[in-house]
A and B are shown apart, each in its own frame.
Chain A
Amino acid sequence: EPEVTQTPSHQVTQMGQEVILRCVPISNHLYFYWYRQILGQKVEFLVSFYNNEISEKSEIFDDQFSVERPDGSNFTLKIRSTKLEDSAMYFCASRLDRSGELFFGEGSRLTVL
């Protein structure tokens, strides 16, 4: 069964460092998302991506964050200068159409020291 894959599963970084989280969505899906969950809190929307551009973003997704889909398969989230409060589980998700269910990857745990 097709699945969303994410790498790395866990990354530890120093505050101020750049981090890139990678995702391979399901191949025929058109809508791509990044969500995060800070420990003990709810799953929060970061950004959605459709037709090779950001379609929506939350207030969390500030200038430190960026996304791109460089080669038509990978979908990356970059955090330019990590802060302690960026420590969270980051989930990539994709779906075929706007009304359909989301398919999530298993998440990338980011720990910022």
Chain B
Amino acid sequence: ILNVEQSPQSLHVQEGDSTNFTCSFPSSNFYALHWYRWETAKSPEALFVMTLNGDEKKKGRISATLNTKEGYSYLYIKGSQPEDSATYLCAFLFSGYALNFGKGTSLLVTP
């Protein structure tokens, strides 16, 4: 199993703050990188699927970048809101069929 590392493990910010987290993955045999948002008592939902080095994707206030050569992806949230509170999972597909997940970054946004 190739390890996916996420940092920080948890984050507590005030409403309105911008924040970012990191996902590190093995840079060899890269196929795709996924970001998922997981709210308590719900199932993980896909935010982004990224495949190309230099990719940058955006959905509302959330954006992500990808560097496949050095093996990292950043997720940015601009102007965090309490409803952004969730665990953000990064998952790496290097070949085959299985996505390997990181442990996630748990974000808490307080008013």
Contacts and interface: CB of A to CB of B under 8 A. Distances in A.
Interface residues of B, number: 24
B29 interface: no
Contacts, number: 59
Given A43-B89, A99-B31, A56 B42 contact: no
Interface stretch (B13-21, B72-80, B94-102): B94-102
A45 B98 contact: yes
B43 A91 contact: yes
Interface residues on A, range: 20 to 34
Nearest to A43: B101
B32 interface: yes
Contact of A56 (B44, B96, B101, B102): B96
Interface of A: 4, 31, 33, 35, 41-45, 48, 50, 55-56, 58-59, 91, 98-107
